[in-house]
Amino acid sequence: MIDREKLWRRYRRFMETTPAFRSHPQNYAKIPLLDGIVRNYEVPHVLEIGVQEGWGMLPLAAAAQDKGGTYTGVDLRITDEVRALVKEFDLQRVTLLEMPSEKFWRDGVENPFDVIVLDGGHDYLTIRMDILNALRCLARDGWLLVHDVLTFAGPQKAFAEICGTTRYGIFSCIVPLGIDGMGVAFVTDQDKLIELGVKPICNSQ
């Protein structure tokens, strides 16, 4: 198990040193939310698109590790800060991929993820493409989290169109997390995703 006290000391340091947390300390609520959702699974497999400096990666990867699961992070650039965090906490079963999400999805995902966090490209077409691919790669009882649905037009519109209706077999809500808002969605009827042109990989396993 990862040392919880050390983790929380590190989270507090994020809060004190990160402008986004200092100006809006309520954004810090993202950390326990991510931690709690991942710990919900027996052996969680987690994917995050958009890693940046690792504020999301640390709770996601630490919780996955504690439960014997995996964390995969995709970003245009994997920073030294992120690699240092992996080292500092000796995070195991972490895969960091430096590439656009388009390439990650195109390369093919073989096993579904239990938790997928989308926080990469925020323009409408990119986040729409990320949401559709994430729905395809989500495990049967998986959760999809879309960050910034209250503050950015792209995630807001794409999340509302795809996840904000039960037409495609998706239930969703928006958690007014900090100022950014986190869209939370889960699929109740995989077969209905076909109306979105999505064929879930978990249906073929």
Ligand X SMILES: C[S@@+](CC[C@H](N)C(=O)[O-])C[C@H]1O[C@@H](n2cnc3c(N)ncnc32)[C@H](O)[C@@H]1O
Question: Does residue 72 interact with ligand X by CB under 6 A?
Answer: no
> Cβ atoms within 10 A of the Cβ of 110, count?
7
Question: Does residue 87 interact with ligand X by CB under 6 A?
Answer: no
Minimum CB distance to ligand X smaller for 76 or for 179: 76
Question: Does residue 75 interact with ligand X by CB under 6 A?
Answer: yes
> Cβ atoms within 10 A of the Cβ of 106, count?
10
Question: Does residue 49 interact with ligand X by CB under 6 A?
Answer: yes
Question: Does residue 50 interact with ligand X by CB under 6 A?
Answer: yes
Per DSSP, the residues of 188-202 read S-GGGGGGGT---GG
* Binding-site member from 74, 94, 131, 162 for ligand X (CB under 6 A): 74
Q: Which helix (H) or strand (E) holds 77?
A: none
Question: Does residue 77 interact with ligand X by CB under 6 A?
Answer: yes
* Binding-site member from 120, 164, 169, 183 for ligand X (CB under 6 A): 120
Shortest separation between residue 101's beta carbon and ligand X, angstroms:
4
Report which DSSP code applies to 186.
E
Minimum CB distance to ligand X smaller for 48 or for 168: 48
Minimum CB distance to ligand X smaller for 11 or for 168: 11
Closest to 175 measured CA to CA, from 5, 25, 33, 63 = 33
Locate tokens 């402008």: which residue?
Answer: 19
Compute CA 47 distance to the chain's CA centroid, rounded to the nearest angstrom. Answer: 6
Shortest separation between residue 204's beta carbon and ligand X, angstroms:
26
Report the distance separating Cα 147 and Cα 1, nearest Å. 28
Q: Which residues in this chain contact ligand X in the complex, by CB under 6 A?
A: 49-53, 55-56, 74-77, 100-101, 119-121, 126
